[in-house]
Amino acid sequence: MTRRHEQIAEALRTAIGDGRHPVGSALPSEAELAAAHGVSRGTVRQAVSALEAEGMVGSRQGARRVVLSTSPSQSFAELRSFAQWARGGGHTPGGLVLESAPGRADGEEAALLQLPPGGEVLRVLRLRTLDGEPALLERTVYAGWIAAAVAQLPDDCESVTQELYERTGLVFAHGEHHLDAVAAGTEDSRRLGVRRGSPLLRVRRTTTTPEGRPVETSDDRYRPGSVVFTVRNSTRTNPLVRSALA
Amino acid sequence: MTRRHEQIAEALRTAIGDGRHPVGSALPSEAELAAAHGVSRGTVRQAVSALEAEGMVGSRQGARRVVLSTSPSQSFAELRSFAQWARGGGHTPGGLVLESAPGRADGEEAALLQLPPGGEVLRVLRLRTLDGEPALLERTVYAGWIAAAVAQLPDDCESVTQELYERTGLVFAHGEHHLDAVAAGTEDSRRLGVRRGSPLLRVRRTTTTPEGRPVETSDDRYRPGSVVFTVRNSTRTNPLVRSALA
DNA sequence: AAAGGCGTCTTGTCCATACAGGTAGGGAGT
DNA sequence: ACTCCCTACCTGTATGGACAAGACGCCTTT
């Protein structure tokens, strides 16, 4: 973290976090911050725009920036990796591969993974636990070009993300997540230890490399009461999209 | 939209949308775009950073930017307003106030709305329909200072957001959304026309003014199969947060 | 043919400056 | 006491320049 604008952003985050800038109060002006940190106004703007994207501060032209929230957003790394996220929150993650089988992509999978129809894929069913309790069931489809590396992972691998990075240098950089609710099916109920028909939060996601190449697509089903997803947005940054179905 | 950087961003969005820059292809370099539009590189960077925040392009230092998706993110306005969103997607929105009653904030509500404990609030139960079908049930709590304006709205008001803006100049600028799944309760099932225990997508949200003053907090329950929420993220912008419950 | 090194291109970071547009508070006038 | 206006301040937009860091293709070497 040698970049000045990140240092300043971090300084502001902690200042907000420990109450020096309470929720609802105004932040120092850009000119003051620039003078205080000995940088130009442009660098300060980079820093505060990061906080704005995280939903911690709001801004209006002409008025000073306002503190909206004391808690920073999660890092992307924590969202990508179940294990990293769990440990960050003081929980103990666990993982177990229940099934793993190569196959051929159907139309939808081929489109999501940008593969030719019938291209090779690896299907994995994985149960994730949180502090020993089943928390979610992952049905992941990996693109053929990464399948070999995934297949070599141990069955009880805690962090797939971490292992793949260490073994192949693969980095997950972008993701698209679709959230809705479904009733637990037979397999869901057995694996997660809930009654059939229980509401589950379903997250269908596709992850790509920094170059935009799709790596995996997954159907994750969360046990109710175990996890909540949060999105912050504002007029400037709006990542949350609501879509109607046919 | 007189700002140059927005014009350039819009030009790029349409260029990507109509296939001039297919998914996976590289965008012109900043220098080329700057020359083509007759602006400085800083202005081009503002434009592409908007697309990056929307998840349409990815970028890596040293390499040209890559097109990730052809569809732009929804505007914040569309997310705030059910009616605006529905019409944008070619659907017909409807709304009906089922109950409306003043009351006093309990502890949680007071905290969310930044009101003193026991402060005045207005509770509204509203059913929203999409093309005539019940789509979601909204249980909204408005802060006392805006309650009078809300109470005057007609029961079948289509767009609360729109009406409040026209009558009082109130603008919603920030929001925090928590998503999880719950089983339909007795009232939910009756109002939405689903069986008791059906899975519903629950979105608990709090909206604030540009100054960060909370306006309303709401518990919205979506009928399964009617709506999907989507979040795009990347290493740089990560609005989606996953939280474990106690 | 495969491996490594080098140079060029592109994005990331940072600076200094200028002006436009909006906010908010204080003072003058009613 | 109240309203209106005006001014100082702050953020948004845009320019232009400079250097650092990473990626990629080409060319040489092995």
pLDDT above 90 as % of chain A: 47
Average pLDDT estimate for A31-42: 95
Residues 6+ apart with CB under 8 A from A201: A179, A181, A221, A222, A224, A227, A229, B179, B180, B181, B201
A40-49, A85-94, B104-113: least confident range: A85-94
Of B174, B208, B224, the CB nearest to A182: B224
Which pLDDT score, from 0 to 100, does residue B245 have?
Answer: 43
Question: In total, how many domains does chain A have?
Answer: 2
| Among candidate residues B44, B67, B90, the one where a domain is terminated | B67
- Higher pLDDT among residues A184 and A54, named by residue: A184
Q: Which tokens go with A158?
A: 């805690």
Q: What is the pLDDT of residue A37?
A: 96
Give the model's pLDDT for residue B181: 94
Is A99 among the domain residues?
yes
CB contact under 8 A, A244 and B231: no
Same domain, B208 and B162: yes
Is residue B3's beta carbon less than 7 angstroms from any atom in nucleic acid strand D?
yes
CA angle, B173 then B176 then B180, to 5°: 145
Tokens read off for A73: 């957003």
Residue B236 covered by a domain? no
- Does residue B81 share a domain with residue B48? no
Q: 3-class DSSP state for residue B119?
A: coil
A-proximal residues of B, 130-189, CB under 8 Å:
130, 173-183
Tokens 């990730």 map to which residue? B68
Confidence (pLDDT) at A243: 56
3-state SS of B16-73 is: HHCCCCCCCCECCCHHHHHHHHCCCHHHHHHHHHHHHHCCCEEEECCEEEEECCCCCC
Question: Tokens representing A138?
Answer: 């992952």
Residue A243 lies in a domain: no
Provide the mean pLDDT of chain A.
86
In a domain, B182, yes or no: yes
Same domain, A106 and A159: yes
**Distance of CA B93 to CAs A165, A180, A215, B87, Å?**
46, 20, 38, 7
Q: Report if residue B17 sits inside a domain.
A: yes
What 3 state SS string does A11-75 have? HHHHHHHCCCCCCCCECCCHHHHHHHHCCCHHHHHHHHHHHHHCCCEEEECCEEEEECCCCCCCC
Question: How close is the nearest chain A Cα to the Cα of B63, in Å?
Answer: 9
Residue B30 approaches strand C within 7 Å at CB? yes
Same domain for B103 and B148, yes or no, is: yes
According to the model, what pLDDT value does residue B83 have?
77
Phi/psi-derived region of residue B59, left when phi > 0, alpha when psi is between -120 and 50, beta in every other case: beta
Q: Is B68 on the interface with A (CB under 8 A)?
A: yes
What would the pLDDT profile of A187-224 be if each residue is shown by its tens digit? 999 999 999 999 999 999 998 888 888 999 999 999 98
What pLDDT score does A236 carry?
62
pLDDT on residue B29:
95
- Same-domain status, B60 and B90: no
Identify the pLDDT of residue B233.
76
Instruction: Reply yes or no on whether the pLDDT at A232 is more than 90.
Output: no
Q: Provide mean pLDDT across the span A14-38.
A: 93
- The DSSP 8-state label assigned to residue A223 in this structure reads P
Residue B210 maps to a domain? yes
The answer to whether the C-beta of A5 is closer than 7 A to strand C is yes
Which residues span the domain enclosing A33? 4-67
Q: Within this chain, do residues A186 and A82 fall inside the same structural domain, yes or no?
A: yes
Q: What is the DSSP letter of B133?
A: E
- The verdict on residue B231 lying in a domain is no
Same domain, residue pair B18 and B140: no
- What is the DSSP annotation of A144-176? HHHHHHHHTS-TT-S-HHHHHHHHH-----EEE
- Helix, strand, or coil (residue B239): coil
- Residues A111, A17: one domain? no
A156-172 tens-digit pLDDT:
887 788 788 777 778 78
- B190: domain CATH number is 3.40.1410.10
| CATH code of the domain covering residue A30 | 1.10.10.10
- According to DSSP, the β-strands at A227-234 and B240-244 are antiparallel
- B229 and chain A: CB distance < 8 Å anywhere? yes
Domain limit, last residue, from A67, A99, A116:
A67
Q: Are A92 and A132 in contact (CB under 8 A)?
A: yes
Same domain, A129 and A186: yes
Residue A18 shares a structural domain with residue A137:
no
Domain match, B116 and B201 both: yes
Task: Mark yes or no for CB contact B226/A244 under 8 Å.
Answer: yes
Please report the pLDDT score of residue B244 as a whole number.
Answer: 47
Residue segments in chain B with a per-residue pLDDT below the cut of 70: 1, 72-80, 235-246
Write down the pLDDT at residue B81.
Answer: 72
In a domain, B244, yes or no: no
Model confidence at A52: pLDDT above 60: yes
Give the whole-angstrom CA distance, residue A95 versus residue A243: 32
Is residue A27 domain-shared with residue A58, that is, in the same domain?
yes
Best of A130, A242, A245 to substitute, by most chain B Cβ atoms within 10 angstroms, is A242
> Residue A31, CB, less than 7 Å from strand D?
yes
Token pair, residue B155, equals 């029961």
